[in-house]
Amino acid sequence: MSWLLDNFTLVTELALQHARLSAVPIVVGLLASISLGWLAHRVRAARLIVLTSFSLIFTVPSLALFVLLPLVLNTRVLDERNVIAAMSLYAIATMLRGAVDGFDHLSPGVTRSATALGYSPTGLFWKVQLPLAGPVLLANLRVVSASTVSLVSVGALIGKGGLGYLFTNGFQRNHPTEIVVGIVAVLLLALSFDVVLVLVGRAALPWIRNLGGTSPT
Amino acid sequence: MIEFVGVTKTYDGGAPAVDNFSLRLAPRRITALVGSSGCGKTTLLRMINRMVDPTVGRVEIDGEDIAGRRPVGLRRGIGYVPQDSGLLPHRRVIDNISVVPLLNGATRAAARLRASELMAVVGLDPALAHRYPAQLSGGQRQRVAVARALAGNPNILLMDEPFGAVDPIVRADLQQETLRLQHELRKTIVLVTHDIDEAFLLGDEVVVLRPGAQVAQHGTPADILADPADSFVAAFIGSARGKRRLTISAQRSVDGADRVVVDAGGYPVGVIAAPEGRLPVADPTPRSRGAQVVG
């Protein structure tokens, strides 16, 4: 406990870095999964290409990605953008199939009657199809959030891993307390991300609490 | 006025769902398209708001080929009631009804006011305004769907098996409500149904369809009942089964004024008041359709 108090500034700094390194890929993952997922939902040829390529990316070990990305992005090996890019790719790979499923399983009856009301294709997407895919997107996003927060720690191997530093450093110094503090901090961070997502989801998708909630009169 | 001119619709080289169909629909009346599943009646309905475009031929509204209209604008001027209500599950009742006025450029306040008025018109309790569709009964959902279809004040209303998914008591209630509304509103309504009783009840004119949307008979319910065009129509309307062929039973009620009416199978279907043994004669126009048609 005294270790934590002595190093509180360091832990806070690492936690903030960890939060930043996680938040960007989560947002990128969401936006890219919606766009690519919609493309895959609409265009049969795109579906195979997009889904297959992200399945393949998922099989590349993270450490190998850290080595490869500087070559592709023309960044320095120790640049934190490498971590953000790698985490974004994993986030998309995790979420994409769920997003496609979410769009695939929209009720054709609702889409048809909304079209008959006179929604334009753009209006239909923003006002009807995207909100209705919301619950599925949110469920997938929560998985992405948890896995990203935990995966970012691996970035410590190239010096940009937020709280992951406490693992590598604690291991090198044979200092279990530091490692335990790191684990608890990562868990708390993942938990707070999840709470934020649930609250945002509740505000954005108010109707899902009322699906069959009260009996009709 | 809606007119189909030599319309054919073929899907992916199969047999035509609609084969060279021509029909002029009576304005400000209910025309019921009735036939078995797969006869092409729903395809015909969806051609009117360009949810489906004909492969050959054209559909005209007030003499104008609608192929030249932007589908989105066309649809905003035509009401549509599907079988499953088709309400947006993520929008409250009031917002569902407000959709078309908002799409047409009304302010939020004006759209809500219009939606509240329409809830009253279709007999919905104002307390339901802030419910989500999943919190309503099937009958209430269909009422919301009708209100939503009327919200843009369209001249044309398309109803695709609108009461097919609700129980018989609610259906009878909604059918009467439709007649009452039509009595006031006088829209051009195209109703698709497989229920011949519903077609006879609601339709000012009834079009009986064979597969491929071939017109077997087109006329008023009374015409079709009195004189089925062929054995297909006779079978479809049930006269071949004796259901419509009614006779007065030899049995009298206690006071002797009411006579029991039975179908060809001998099953009682109702009573008829015959004071002093004389059968009454009715006006052939159903009460709900008796009003003067304007325009």
The pLDDT of residue A5: 83
- Quick check: A77 pLDDT over 80? no
- The structural domain count of chain B equals 2
Would residue B85 count as lying in a domain? yes
At B164, the pLDDT band (50, 70, 90 cuts) reads confident
Q: Which residues pair with B78 in a beta bridge?
A: B156
Domain range for B19: 2-237
Cα B169 from chain centre = 17
Kindly report the nearest CA distance between residue A127 and chain B, in angstroms.
Answer: 10
Mean of the pLDDT values across residues B62-74? Answer: 95
pLDDT single digits (tens) A56-70: 988 888 778 888 888
The pLDDT of residue B264: 79
Question: Distances from the Cα of B18 to the Cαs of A171, A183, B4, B15, B38, in angstroms?
Answer: 75, 67, 11, 9, 10
The pLDDT of residue B174: 94
The listed range with the strongest mean pLDDT (A35-39, A54-58, A156-160, A206-210) is A35-39
Mean of the pLDDT values across residues B84-94? Answer: 94
pLDDT single digits (tens) A176-213: 989 999 999 999 999 999 999 999 999 999 988 765 54
3-class DSSP string for B79-109: EEECCCCCCCCCCCHHHHHHHHHHHCCCCHH
Would residue B284 count as lying in a domain? no
Q: A117 vs B76: CB contact, 8 Å cut-off?
A: yes
- How is domain A2-207 classified at the CATH fold level? MetI-like fold (1.10.3720)
pLDDT single digits (tens) B210-230: 999 999 999 999 999 989 999
- Cα dihedral B242→B244→B248→B253 (10° resolution): 110
State whether B145 and B62 are in the same domain. Answer: yes
Q: What does the mean pLDDT of chain B come to?
A: 90
Is A120 in the B-facing interface, judged by CB distances under 8 Å? Answer: yes
State whether B171 and B254 are in the same domain. Answer: no
**Amino acid of residue A138:** L
Mean of the pLDDT values across residues B247-266? Answer: 77
Closest CA to B264 of B238, B240, B237, B246: B246
Closest chain B residue to the Cα of A212, Cα to Cα: B134
At B241, the pLDDT band (50, 70, 90 cuts) reads low
**Paired tokens of A143:** 């998985």
B294 secondary structure, DSSP code: P
At A214, the pLDDT band (50, 70, 90 cuts) reads very low
Would residue B137 count as lying in a domain? yes
At A150, the pLDDT band (50, 70, 90 cuts) reads very high
CA A34 to CA A132: how far, in whole Å?
13
The pLDDT of residue B254: 64
Kindly report the nearest CA distance between residue B71 and chain A, in angstroms.
Answer: 8
CA B6 to CA B237: how far, in whole Å?
27
CA B62 to CA B40: how far, in whole Å?
23
State whether B177 and B274 are in the same domain. Answer: no
The pLDDT of residue A213: 46
User: pLDDT higher for B85 or B147?
Assistant: B147
Mean of the pLDDT values across residues A119-127? Answer: 96
Q: B90 vs A132: CB contact, 8 Å cut-off?
A: yes
Kindly report the nearest CA distance between residue B187 and chain A, in angstroms.
Answer: 17
Between A179-188, B138-147, B239-248, the lowest mean confidence (pLDDT) is in B239-248
State whether B213 and B251 are in the same domain. Answer: no
Buried b (16+ CB within 10 A) or exposed e, A93-121: bbbbbbbbebbeebeeebbbbbbbbbbbe
Mean of the pLDDT values across residues B149-172? Answer: 93
Would residue B293 count as lying in a domain? no
- Quick check: A113 pLDDT over 90? yes
Domain ranges of chain A: 2-207
- Quick check: B90 pLDDT over 80? yes
Which of B72, B81, B102 is the best residue to mutate to test the A interface, defined by the most A CB atoms within 10 Å of its own CB? Answer: B72
